[in-house]
Structure 1
Amino acid sequence: MDGVLDGVRVLDLSRVFAGPAATQVLGDLGADVIKVEEPGRGDEARGFGVTAPVLERLGASPSYLALNRNKRSIAIDLKSPAGLALVKRLAASVDVLVHNFRPGAMEKWGLGWDDLRAANPRLIHCGFSGYGESGTLRDFGANDVALQAHSGLMHLTGEPDRPPVRVGTAGIDLHGSLGMVCAILAALLHRGKTGEGQKVTSSLLQSSAHLMSYFYTDWWLARTEHRRMGTANHLSVPNQVFPAADGDVVIIAPSDDMWRRLAHALDPARLDRPDFTTAMDRRTHRVALVETLSAVTRGLTCDEILRRLGAAKVNVARVHNVGQAADHPQLEAVGAVLHWERNGQAEQGVAPPFTLGAAPVGVRLPPPSVGEHTTQILAELGLDDAAIEAARQAGAFGLAEAAPPA
């Protein structure tokens, strides 16, 4: 079955995280994504956070493999005039271009929106940067952790009496990637109505602000300065991690009705107290409530707490490690895991965070090796064997690396 973006061609000049995550979703939806990589090394994420034996076995890091399925790879040297000419030719043939170079880099190469629109007025030109394309921070380098710090997210994360802590995943990058996908889909709809392409921009700054929107609004309207609370939440009590006999659980009971159900399910003698009756009471007596509830949960296993509170319709979850979460059968039950083969080996990855009943996403292509599809893509551009060889001799590109051993 064709994907909803079947027939849409995407030129992916992005690398590392947010950009590749966005173009992977477009590929999952059926778009033909052409990933431009540096000859030899490829996307630098191919070597991120991986030991030599794992790299030898997999051929690329899990960081790269997680974000680059449903793409074809062409190895082109953007520093070569011949390579740059090929990229411009590709840009004239696609519907969408995505990049995450620093502001000004694309214009320097003649690949900016104003440079490319003359040859391809229907092009949707999407750029993703750290702090955006204007303002005093325009030229600052940035990554996910830098924006965790800049945005105030890191200030909110950790224990009250300890230094700020980074969030354990690249949430600003991933949130930004879905923002890019939304913008690109909106631009495609606009083009369908008007025939016009457009420039689309986003940034880690905008992604982080969107994640922090509640806290920023609370500051702008009420001048509330939030501080670190560990796993607790200023909005309600209980709303945090509690110890169990064999692990930890998160318990969230914001409403009075839910609190009563919790108390009766776990230990009404200790928890059904007048000073815990209302939400205001529970916030006022936060310390006493947390101490009392912790004493109750320490005497129960995680499974028993989940069984009792689940039956009582109270929000509860076990604190899993990554392996427990990744292998939990509920992921497969909701279609959150995609499966494919690469070099004869079974692999799997996380699906986009949605399902489409009429056009399910799937894996047409496993993550590619560097330049795996170079010759194929150039032939589609109209280059014959002699022209491809001439471009190679001119230093425009590299051909496919050998596939890693199975």
Structure 2
Amino acid sequence: MSYPSGTYPVAGPLNGIKIIAFEHAWAAPYGTMMLADMGADVVKVEPPGTGDHVRAWTRNDLDGLSPHFLAVNRNKRSIVLDLKSPEGLATAKRLIAEADAVVENFSPGVMRKLGLDYDTLTESHPDLVYCSVSGFGETGPYSDRRAYDLLIQAEGGLLSVTGTDEESPAKVGTAVVDVLAAMVAAFSVASALRGKEALGQGRYIDVSMLDVAASTMAFNIFSYGLSGVMPKPIGTAHPLLAPYEVYSTATTPVAIAILTEAHWATFCSVLGREDLCTQAEFATAPMRVSNRELLNEQLRPIFDKWDGPELVDTLAGAGLACASVNDVAAILEHPQLHDRDFFSEWNVRGHDLIAPGAPWRMTGNAKQPQDRLPADRPGQHAADILRDWIGADSAEIDDLSARGALG
């Protein structure tokens, strides 16, 4: 889907904000997509050739539009700039001069070598908001190390508490640190833009994926500090509550979370096992945790007779916390997500796809702010971007292209 020059599909709170993103993969692109969903005009700078390298991560016939790329690049416009050429670098600087914010996730030091670092740019653009996202941050002994989501899950401790003793270390099944770091970046950029509006000054933001991962370990860190006991992986269970884990049923698995003694009593009543409440081994949450396996020996034969969805409906109907363990097909059919218009229908090169949407609702917006598809090819919007941002006419655009600035 294309839009006329100078028009935007989203009338969000960041409408009119210009953000230029020197980005690839997920750790920055997911965040700039959030900002684009909020209405910002996000220009994604891609390198010559294949563009963002994750475009090629595909086994289908959508060459250059992998699931990785489609997932984090809606509502952006794409331009190819050869930053190794004087003309391409000069064009990047002209675009930055018109931007409210820069977001980048190159390795630390790359932008400085190009003369596109915060200190250099703010000599002439003092109110610029600038966000760097990297594996370990811009400073420290690990700052020059390569980093990917798996590596930061490992370095940040997530792998040590995920899975079971028999299967650990286990990775979270999505690129969770990439996404969380990107969300932190988006929140930080939006906050800094508000500060710029109020104080008239820009900010430099340094987002470390390791910092983000370690911040998710806060409970484990405090628990270890207070008890001296090293947190260990316990599968889907909770260290302080039981029953609180995933159970098999006759059909599909079910997640159950009993937090209070009142809920425990209701749970036993619904299952027709009021006797469990009277057993000393299960009288309190700490006792149930200490006797977790004994408790599960009582519960498993009960759940084996239930249909999974029926068990969820029954427990939820009694006011208890529970959920089905859904796969992707079930998510696509989920009635709650459809009621909230979470999904959109995309047609990508003749393929009808269901696309996830922004994870919020906001008054004053359309139901889902995702009208512009990810750029079909690198540099798809170059001419419009150059016209809109720096007032280039067709002759200048042709000249920049001829001189190799546009890759």
Length-normalised TM-score, structure 2: 0.92
State the partner residue of 2:144: 139
Query: Is 1:206 matched with 2:215?
Result: no
In structure 2, distance between residues paired with 1:254 and 1:184:
37
Over 3 Å counting, the alpha-carbon distance change for 1:308 and 1:379 in structure 2 is closer
Aligned partner of 1:307 among 296, 308, 313: 313
Calculate the aligned-residue CA RMSD, in Å: 1.7
Report how many residues are paired: 394
Letter in 2 for 1:32: D
Tell me the CA shift for residue 339 of structure 1.
4.1
1:2-401 alignment, distance < 5 Å: 2-48=11-57, 50-51=58-59, 53-56=60-63, 59-268=64-273, 271-275=276-280, 276-342=282-348, 346-360=352-366, 361-368=368-375, 369-380=377-388, 381-398=390-407
**CA distance in 2: counterparts of 1:223 and 1:147, whole angstroms:** 24
Question: Is the 1:100–1:128 Cα contact (8 Å) retained in structure 2?
Answer: yes
Q: CA deviation at 1:355?
A: 1.1
The answer to which of 376-385 and 169-178 deviates more is: 376-385
Structure 1 position 158, deviation (Å)? 1.2
SS at match of 1:220: helix
Q: Which residue of 1 aligns with 2:4?
A: none
1:267 Cα offset (Å) = 2.6
Residue type at the aligned position of 1:244: T
Alpha-carbon offset, residue 217 of structure 1: 2.3
**Structure 1 moving runs of 4+ over 3 Å:** 269-273, 338-348
Deviation at 1:343, TM superposition (A): 5.0
Preserved CA contact (<8 Å) 1:266 1:308: no
CA distance in 1, matches of 2:122, 2:215: 30
Letter matched to residue 27 of structure 2: A
Helix, strand or coil for the counterpart of 1:54? coil
Percent identity reads 34
Asked if structure 2 preserves the Cα contact closer than 8 Å seen for 1:173 and 1:207, the reply is: no
* Matched position secondary structure for 1:68: coil
Closer, same or farther: CA 227–335 of 1 in aligned 2, 3 Å: same
Q: Which residue of 1 aligns with 2:3?
A: none
1:81 positional shift: 1.6
Is residue 265–residue 274 contact of structure 2 (8 Å, CA) maintained in 1? no
Structure 2 distance, partners of 1:54, 1:271, is 56
Conserved 8 A contact 1:263-1:272: yes
Question: 1: CA distance between counterparts of 2:33 and 2:186?
Answer: 10
Number of the residue aligned with 1:404: none
Contact 2:267 2:315 in 1 (8 A): yes
* Separation of aligned partners in 2, 1:223 and 1:358: 50
Distance 2:40 2:348 in 1: 20
Contact map agreement 1:337 1:350 (CA 8 A) in 2 = yes
Distance in 2 of aligned mates of 1:312 and 1:44: 50
Query: Structure 1: any 5+ residue segments left out of the alignment?
Result: 399-406
Tell me the amino acid that sits aligned with residue 355 of structure 1. Answer: R
What is the rounded CA distance, in whole Å, between the counterparts of 1:187 and 1:26 in structure 2? 13
- What amino acid does structure 1 have at the position aligned with 2:107? R
Name the CA shift for 1:221/1:111 in 2 (closer, same or farther; >3 Å): farther
Farther off after superposition, 356-365 or 70-79: 356-365
Contact 2:168–2:233, Cα closer than 8 Å, also in 1: no
Cα separation, partners in 2 of 1:343 and 1:162, compared to 1, 3 Å: closer
| SS of aligned partner of 2:28 | helix
CA-to-aligned-CA distance 1:189-218 (integer Å, 9 cap, x gap):
111111111111102112102211211222
Q: Gapped runs of 5+ residues in structure 2?
A: 1-9
> Shift in Å at residue 345 of structure 1?
5.6
SS in 2 for 1:351: coil
Is contact 2:26–2:178 with CA below 8 Å preserved after alignment?
yes
Q: Residues 108-156 of structure 1, C-alpha deviation per residue, up to 9 Å, x if partnerless?
A: 1000011111222221011000001111111111111101101111011
Partner Cα separation in structure 2 for residue 112 and residue 78 of structure 1: 13
- Look up the SS of the partner of 1:168 in the other structure: coil
Question: C-alpha distance in 2, partners of 1:214/1:353?
Answer: 25
Q: State the alpha-carbon separation in 2 of the partners of residues 299 and 108 from structure 1.
A: 65
